[in-house]
Amino acid sequence: MNAHEKEELAAFLLEAEEKKQDVVRITAEKRPNLSVEEAYAIQETLVDTKRKQGKSVVGPKMGLTSKAKMQQMNVEEPIYGYIFDDMVVSGDSISMSSFIHPKAEAEVAFILGEDIEGPGISGAQVLGATKYVVPALEIIDSRYENFNFTLPDVIADNASSSAVVFGTTVKKPEELELDVIGTTLSINGEIKDLGAGAAVLGHPANSVAMLANMLHRKGQKLEAGQIILTGGITGAVPVSVGDYVEASLDGLHSVHFSVK
């Protein structure tokens, strides 16, 4: 893939995001043989463009880290993408008009106190370098029609990143056993999905470790101060106007938003 094609595909996805208009996945017509490596190169271009637009990275995120999510999306391995400052929801509501077809998922976010540089990082090392954990509701919004994508497609599309609501309960990682924290995701008081922290690669810290090791292959590291989403503990649930969406994570209380 040459630089021009890479720019063109990144622009194609950015335009879909800006116009809130879904598109056919890249591998359906444009580039059936898109590789994972090429997909990350498109993602990098997309991320650079957002940076040039004045947006800044809050932190990288992991996605498809649980069996529930891999099965739901029919994809077999974890991926990463980037959350930007303009994706962080500041009030307690989101507007449906800012999205194509948003879905919410309950996650644990790690706030790093130290840099973490792969290779060979373990979950225990991640816990040692983590200052705080907070509950989060990620709102994903694939730019592809019906969330229909293959692994390279979703990587190029910045792992469907769109918005995130962070909870206000902040804990030190040693105050919790993150693998056994029970989690529910409810809409208008009705539980739509549930799980435990161990759904995420056995322990959410393992997700951050895997991320550090994946970034190392690109000569990059995780940095102190970054807030890292570790991936949905629950499956992702579509939300619509009028919904009150709440994730409750044992020991981390709840995080919620409503949809206008």
Residue 157 binds Mg ion (CB under 5 A): no
Instruction: Provide CB contacts within 8 A for 36, sequence distance 6+.
Output: 151, 152, 155
Taking alpha carbons only, the member of 19, 60, 65 closest to residue 40 is 60
99 binds, among ligand OOG, Mg ion, none (CB under 5 to 8 A by kind): none
Q: Which is nearer to ligand OOG, 22 or 117 (CB)?
A: 22
Residue 64 partner contact from Mg ion, ligand OOG, none using kind-dependent CB cut-offs of 5 to 8 Å: ligand OOG
Q: In the structure encoding, which two tokens stand for residue 163, read together?
A: 């918005």
How far apart are the C-alpha atoms of 56 and 58, rounded to whole Å? 6
Size of the site for Mg ion (CB under 5 A): 3
- The least distance separating ligand OOG from the CB of residue 76, rounded to whole angstroms, comes to 13
Which amino acid, 190?
A: E
Tell me whether residue 5 or residue 57 sits nearer to ligand OOG (CB atom).
57
| 138 near Mg ion, rule: CB under 5 A | yes
Least distance from ligand OOG to the Cβ atom of residue 137, Å:
11
Q: How far is the CB of 233 from ligand OOG (least distance, A)?
A: 9
Backbone angles phi, psi at 83, to 5 degrees: -100, 130
Using DSSP's 3-state secondary structure scheme, residue 51 falls into helix
CB 108, min distance to ligand OOG, A? 11
For residue 16 the two structure tokens come to: 């879909």
Contact positions vs ligand OOG (CB under 6 A): 63-65, 69, 73, 105, 138, 140, 142, 147, 154, 159-160, 231-232, 236
Helix (H) or strand (E) holding 211: helix 204-216
